[in-house]
Amino acid sequence: MALALTENTAILNWIDEMAAMTQPDQIVWIDGSQAQLNALRAEAVASGELEKLSEEKLPGCYLHRTAVNDVARVEDRTYICSRRQEDAGPTNNWMAPDEMYAKLKKLYTASMKGRTMYVIPYSLGVVGSPFAKYGIELTDSIYVVLNMNIMTRVGRQVLDALGDSPDYVKGLHAKADVDPENRYIVHFPEDNTIMSVNSAYGGNVLLGKKCFALRIASAQGRREGWMAEHMLILGIQNPKGEVHYLAAAFPSACGKTNLAMLIPPARYRQQGWKVWCVGDDIAWIRVGEDGRLWAMNPEYGFFGVAPGTNEKSNPNALHTTQKDTIFTNVVRNLDDNTVWWEGLDKNPPKNAVDWKGNPWDGTVSAEKGAHPNSRFTAPAKNCPCLSPEFENPRGVPLSAIVFGGRRAKTAPLVYQSFDWEHGVFVGSAMASETTAAAAGAVGVVRRDPMAMLPFCGYNMGDYWQHWLHMGTVVTGRAPKIFHVNWFRTDDEGHFIWPGFGENLRVLVWIMKRCFDEVGADETPIGYLPKPQDIDLEDSGVDLDTLKGLLNVDTELWKEEAAGIRAFYSKFGRTLPSALSAQLDALERRLD
């Protein structure tokens, strides 16, 4: 075994056990040094695992292609293996831990023969902070090492912080044969263990991301009294220089990254408004010494969807990718050795290679050049609007929590919950209507409570109960809870609200409500803005249109309540009685 960077027996014994099973030719410890990382980049380029891009136009950037059968997270192959099936709940795949360990052992045995096992010590959160949690990922992929180095804080300092503690999350990843029939991404929340085999795609193999930071961490948070949430965190700075923070949860295809890196409209910028990105995807939330909820982004980089990212939709995200970024499954432009994807601009390259590695002429090809789920892994420090509080070990205090979804008619532009318990109900009922981008019929309502349905590491009924409990811990200091919907459409299907930077107008109203600076109208679903309290100047939206966007259609909401009741029925006795009571109360108000 290679020279270890720690004397921690809990780590060394586990690595010995995993190495005996997977049988790598050698073991390499990742110390986080630039010299070691540069050597690994060079090795990956030599083997074809990575392709170096133009140093002049994209300094420090590389391109990677995954197997054609291995391009996205696989929900049907993702398991939560708790000892009792009820603890995994009705929305997770479950298998008994002993049975799953036995199945995985066969797949892992000798899977690293002829390969190198890399030992990646990593921290989620600022090393040494009260929020920080530590993990070790074992992998046979240099691509994983280099991505984890962007997405998390990697190296010796993690092992120093851990000392001889056994409190770390174990992660084992083996590419094996990249066989989709034997692909598993498995979480053992009671063992703090993650095992991934037969995939090499980021979301399945960067085990610090959704696997640890949400699935394992949500279970840890429940045990330890904090929350791991699928939420962006942003700061809104007003012209007086005061910054207030909110966390927001949206299902996919609802503009989460665009909101996290929002650029204020011109008039707001001139007045001195600024928006700061603390995080674009995950928030860990704890009760601070002052009794408020504080949020921290446990990640160190952005793992973003490339298609549709451009100078207009999200200039900050685009600028973040301009150096030290790994692109996955995008087009390579051979003329200038840069990358391209659908929605980047209207000038697809003629002389190019598509995401599968085939010659591609974007001026005539009917086939897409980049995979729809192609990605960039970019360092957060590249982001032009990164919050000065990004490295604050205490996190930032939350004034508001925002839920949202994509609804053509039902949900108004914005409303506020009556209180914390009602806010948990609003989050538990969150839904989006399917778009053409998703498989299946368009316009189908998909429930995605708190945007956590694929990421909750335990029974969602218990998860809601944990949310309700957290509200009792921060009585009087709890963030106010809101719901937004940027996606109301007219009868022709066109979006009515302009979205993007204009969403700041709604966020400013939200902040005014948090500090009791404006009133609101009480409706059956919650508090709605008085139309004159949302600034429309230069927005292209008139007051009558805004009134339409704030309309609550009672009949549609009765259908919505029936949909929520059907969804709740899945959870049986684990559904908190408080949420049943909230649903009953909504139905009474609608009548």
Residue 511's H or E segment, with its range, is helix 504-514
Residues in Cβ contact with 115 at an 8 Å cutoff, skipping those fewer than 6 apart:
24, 25, 140
Catalytic residue among 61, 254, 385, 456: 254
Please provide residue 222's backbone torsions phi and psi, each rounded to the nearest 5 degrees. Answer: -65, -40
Question: Taking a C-beta distance cutoff of 8 angstroms, is the pair 342, 437 a contact?
Answer: no
Count of Cβ atoms closer than 10 Å to residue 394 Cβ: 15
Residue 447's H or E segment, with its range, is strand 445-447
Q: Tokens at residue 340, please?
A: 């391209």
For residue 34, the one-letter residue type is Q
Task: Quickly count helices (H) and strands (E) in the chain.
Answer: 17, 30
DSSP string for residues in 157-220: HHHHHHTT----EEEEEE-TT--GGG-EEEEETTTTEEEEES--SHHHH-TIIIIIIIIIHHHH
DSSP string for residues in 278-298: EESS-EEEEE-TTSSEEEE--
Question: Taking a C-beta distance cutoff of 8 angstroms, is the pair 501, 264 a contact?
Answer: yes
Q: Let me know if 514 is a catalytic residue.
A: no
Distance CA 135, CA 158 (A): 9
Nearest CA among 432, 481, 436, 422 for reference residue 453: 432
Residues in Cβ contact with 473 at an 8 Å cutoff, skipping those fewer than 6 apart:
225, 287
Catalytic residues: 254
